[in-house]
Each structure stands twice: as structure tokens, then as C-alpha cells.
Chains A and B, each alone.
Chain A
Amino acid sequence: MIFPWRLRPRRPAWVDEIESAPLETYQKNQLQVTLEQIERLYPDPVQRSKVRVLDIGCNPLQDRLLSKYVGHVIGTNLGGMESEASDERTRFLNSAERELPLEEGAVDFAFSLNIMEHLADTRAMIAEHVRVVAPGGYGFIDWACSWGSPSGHHIFEAMVRYWETVFEMPQTAFKDGGEYVPDWGHLLLTREEMRAHVLSKLGPGTEKLVDYIVFSIYDRVDQYGLSRLFLDEVMEIIRSFDVELVEVKNEAMPASKPLKLALETIHGEHDYETYHTTVVFQKPASDARDVRKAADRMAATT
């Protein structure tokens, strides 16, 4: 006799803990996905308890939760990590924009969540990501809103609410959903058209905020700015390194035919529909790499 509830997937130990953590919903989801990924790659609990993990562009709270289920976690960020308390399972380090403060092959599993769409130099960052992973180790990259996607402009209600407090202005009517910053608008509207449209929606007195929104979409390039690379360009960069892609998962939102034709005419053939991407890559074990290098050398000489 099979009891149907036996067939239900096992509820992982961390679910309740993540649920009760003071994190945004998307951060909870990401943490869960990361833990599931680690569990899949290291199914043996003994092995899992020794895995060295790196979080590139970290959230210390996420990392402290994560550290209970793996060996230890290193979190790096561009700044502000000096005030984060480290313990025997976690360590927080400041990093430079194009450099990670770690030795080559220092970790077994390096992940970054929602970082890819903000990089000023994606190629340099991936190079560092690959460098710090030990041979045979894994990289995990998860991000949403690539430049080509409907929300590639990356302007969200939560950010606008924050900017309103910074500018000390009353709350505007801004809402997510494409009414204020239209879907694909960053690819189809000029700066001037975008400015005029958002200003007309938010009303007079919001010029400062609107200018900041336009600047964030089109011009900003620091860690809060955008990399403005289409998904295929990012994937090409990842593929250009000596790694094996274990998993690539895309979630897409279909674009209507006229918009797709207009986008392709203006910006060329790109992926305009994928808004969420997950990539898992494995750095080849050193002996495999040696064989490959030798083969390359042989091909070069003959």
C-alpha cells in the first residue's frame, strides 16, 4: 500500500527558517533556490557540510542563514562589509569593482544573485568568479531583468519609494506594472520621451525624481546602474570561459509581434522575452583541464 503523502517531496529543514527571516520575498525565494541548488550538487550531507561557499555581492543575512547548511560562507561586497561581524562559519570582505579578495580556487561553490544586470564590466567579473572557484567546483548565477526584457529598465516601486525619502518629497503615484515606465520603454523611447512621459504620469513637482529615474535607466554605470547587455551577450561572455554549463534556465514573458519587430529593427536580433535566468557552471577538474590544454597545444603545433 502506498500512502499518497509519502510521495510528497520532503520539506527541507531550512524552509521555516527562511520564511521567518526579515527578508524581501524575492530574497527568500533566491535563498531557497540557492540552497536547493547546493543540495542537488552535493547530495551527500557530510560532503555538503564541508562545502566552501562564496556569495558575490552579498546580503549578510542571507549568508548567515545559508552558513548553517554548508561548511562556511564568505560574502563579498563593494563596500560596507567592515561593520559586518564574522564568526567561525561566515566571513565578510570588501572587494574592488573588478577583483575578488580571494586566492585562485578558494571556494567550491560561488554564487551571485541579481548582480549580473548591474555590472560595469561583466567580463572581468565573470573572470574573477571563475578564478576563485576550485577545479571541479560550481558557479551559480541568478538574475532577473536583463536589458532586453520588459523590465530591463530596472525601475521598481520599492526603489522609487526609497528615492522619494532621499529627495524628501511626498510619495508619488508610481507603481510597478508598466503604466509609469512602460515595458520595453527603455528600448523604444528616447531619454526625452521617457522623461516627458514619466513626468506627465507623476505630475508637476516630481522633476528631480523623474530626472533620477531617467539617469538610472540610461546613464548610470556604478553598482547601482545597469550593465545594459542583452542576455545573449552575457551568455556569450560566460561561454567564453573554460567552464561547462551544467544548467541554463530561462523564464520568459512573450512580446507582441509589433513590439518584437520594432525592437529587432532598432536594436538587432536579441532575446527580448526572457526576464529571469539561472546559470550553473562547473569549472573542469584540473586533470580534465590539463588534457584540454594539451589538446589545444597539439592543435596549435600541427
Chain B
Amino acid sequence: MLFRRQPKNVAPPRPPWMDQIDAADLYEFQRVQLAGTIRVLEELYPKATDRERVEVLDVGCNPTQDRILSQFVKHVTGCNVGGMENVPGDAKTAFVNSGEVELPFPTDTFDFAYSLSVMEHLKDTRAVMAEHVRVLKPGGYGYVEWCCQWGCYAGHHIFAILVRDWEKHLKLPRSPFEDGGDFVPDWGHLLLTPDQMRKLLCKKLGPGFEKLADVIVDVIYFRTDEHGLARLYLGEVMEIIRSFDVEIVEFTRQEVKAPKAVKEILRAKHGDHDYDAHYAKVIFRKRSGEGPSSVGSATELAEASG
């Protein structure tokens, strides 16, 4: 008994669609997101015949992701705040521009509506969530996944790949900016004022990069369009999602724990919030309209273990 060999932790078999994702022209994080979305679809609709009847909406879309996803479902509609007029659709995909809040679709249209890395950028999270829920059919599923919520270490949402774009846009040479907390400190957006952040960036980036520092400070603290930040803590976002007539099927969060001293300072400055969770994944189901609107106990369990 004692010496019986335990089964090893074997990785799940590689799904057949993985090669296609690997070959696609996507960033690594987008590949991970797409694979995650397909897995969620497979979980919610285990039979391939069921999946083939699913009408999908991607809120804040990436056409490449949507084209790959469309092979597994009936149809995918991708919408974005702008730039979709030149993206060609086909038999299984369509791309449309949406308003900043309004989704240009009738109520009760989709079986599955998802958004990837959109939640942390919304100016009006409640309004967009209302639209997200509205366009779902009763009993349909919503799936939102995002990282770098305002309270977490990288809530400032400044990454090297973005900075490289801004350098090009500002016609600057490549700056020494790197990810890892040396330039924009972890939790720095909550510890420093805009002026202090600018001072730090100017010092770290060196002379000649003042304009870049201005852009970074603007994005962290002030910008509110689709490239800006929602600046809501995870608890506030979850409260908004829960305020709709939906049942939370799954809520998963991943943490990068704040050091104790950092956490105490953050609590003193901003109150008791979730400063650890940097990633959240929520699957919810729109209620059919009838029946009690109590949240299932399975949900709370998933939350506690998450």
C-alpha cells in the first residue's frame, strides 16, 4: 500500500486545434486566451453537435482569434469600438463596429458572448456588462477573462510591447524600458502620485524620453478611452457582474501576493481591496427570467477555492 506507485501528473492530451493556434499570427498571451476560450466552449457544450449550433459574440474582438474559433461553432460575430469596417467576414464570421457602450445587436441574440482582456479598459464597466448580458439569450453563457486589474501589481498596465509601440509613434529611439518592475514599480500606480511616477520614469529612462514618460503617466492615471484603464478593484467589478440577473458558473482568480509591508501601505491609502489577484476568469449564465435569483452554492465554493 505504502509503496504503490502513484499515478504521475500527466499533462492532458494535446487537443488537435493546438497546432493551428501555434501557427497563427498572434502574441503568446493571445494564443493562451484563445486556447482557454475553446476549452471553456468544450466544457460548456461537451458534444461537438451542440457546439455547432452555438452563436458566438466576441466583445472587443481580435479577427484572427475569431476566425480560428469560428471553425468549432455555428458563427462568430466580432465587434470592436472601431476599425472593423475593413475586416472581411465570411460564411462563419462577421465583424462590426460597436459604440463605446452599445452593442449593435438585438436582445437575446447569442448563446455565448465572451470578452478577453477588455474588462480592465472599460470606462463604464456597468454599462458594457449590461449590454453583454442583454445580447445573450436566456440560458446563454457569458465568459469574461482579463488580467492586471487596478489593484494588482501590474494594474498600471504598462508593458514593454506597448512601450515599443509608443516609441515608434513618438519617433523615439528604443528606450531602456523593460518589464519587471524596475521602471514602473509593482503596485507603483497605487503608491505614487502622477508627478512622482513621472519623476521616477524620467530618471530611469534617461534624458530624451520625457514625452514617453508623459504618455505612460497619462495611460496609468488619466486616460479613459479604450486604451485607458477602468481603475476599478476586482471586488468592485465582481459586484457589478453580480448585480445583473446572472448565475456565476465559475470565478477563478490567480494571485501574485503583495509583500506584507506593501499591502499595509495600500490598505492605508486605498482601503481594503484585493491587491493580490492579477488574473480573473468569470463564466456566468443569463437566467431565463423566471425562478428565484439566488446565486448557486457551487459558485461560492468555486470562489472560495479559487
Contacts and interface: CB of A to CB of B under 8 A. Distances in A.
Interface SS of chain B: helix
Interface in B240-278: 259-262, 264-265, 267-269
Interface string A191-226: 001101100000000000000000000000000000
B199 A265 contact: yes
B196 A188 contact: no
B270 to A, nearest CB: 9
Interface stretch (A90-98, A251-259, A288-296): A251-259
B192 A262 contact: yes
Nearest to B193: A266
Interface stretch (A68-76, A162-170, A176-184): A176-184
Interface in A11-45: none
B264 A259 contact: no
A136 interface: no
Contacts of B259: 256, 258-259
Contact of A266 (B182, B192, B203, B261): B192
Interface in B40-75: none
Interface residues of A, number: 22
Counting chain B CB atoms within 10 Å of each CB, the highest count among A150, A189, A256 belongs to A256
Interface SS of chain A: helix
Contact of A261 (B185, B264, B265, B268): B185
Contact of A258 (B186, B199, B267): B186
B187 A258 contact: yes
A178 B260 contact: yes
A259 B264 CA distance: 11
B265 A189 contact: yes
A258 B264 contact: no
A258 B262 contact: yes
Interface in A235-274: 255-259, 261-262, 265-266
A105 interface: no
A284 interface: no
Interface of A: 150, 178-179, 182-185, 188-189, 193-194, 196-197, 255-259, 261-262, 265-266
24 contacts: A178-B264, A182-B264, A183-B265, A184-B261, A184-B265, A188-B191, A189-B268, A189-B269, A193-B269, A197-B267, A197-B268, A257-B181, A257-B185, A258-B153, A258-B186, A258-B187, A258-B262, A259-B191, A261-B185, A261-B188, A262-B185, A262-B191, A262-B192, A265-B199
